[in-house]
Structure 1
Amino acid sequence: MLSRVAQVRSLITRAFTVMKLLARTYHQLPRSERPSFLHNLGKVRKLIVKLEEHPSETIDLKDPATWKHPIDPIDRFALKP
């Protein structure tokens, strides 16, 4: 069983990989949808930074209320945890 810190580091590595893949899709979006996509991508990055800075802190990925920077649930490009 991995420690909490090791689990968070693994999550961060996977999250950055996903963010790189998402950044590639940015150019395929219609111009009108790019700002909200970037906005939510920035929120995900902030969540990753928070996990990296405080790996022992409990963050329920299924409950955006526990995130410091929650993603707007109405946005169709909101990234599901």
Structure 2
Amino acid sequence: MNSFYVYETQAELTADHYQQAEANGISRAAVRKRIKLGWPISKAIKEPILSQKEITERASAASPFRQTNGLHFAKEGKV
């Protein structure tokens, strides 16, 4: 059932969607992956790709362990 949904959603993507995504710096592969993960088309073609630093910062901020154990991680040699 899920694969059918993905197929139907990907079938709705048009050349204009891909052009808009590429204008926003998002590759066709990234758009297809986002759609497969259940993203709405409008978000998949507009949401910027996060850098590794942004991904790490978001994950760190959302971590429940950050609030409970008081541990702080720093790059080696920086304390």
Q: Does TM, scored on the shorter chain, surpass 0.5?
A: no
Q: TM-score, normalised by structure 2?
A: 0.32
Larger Rg belongs to: 2
Relative to the length of structure 1, the TM-score reads: 0.31
The structure whose RCO (Cα within 8 Å, separation 6+) is larger is: 1
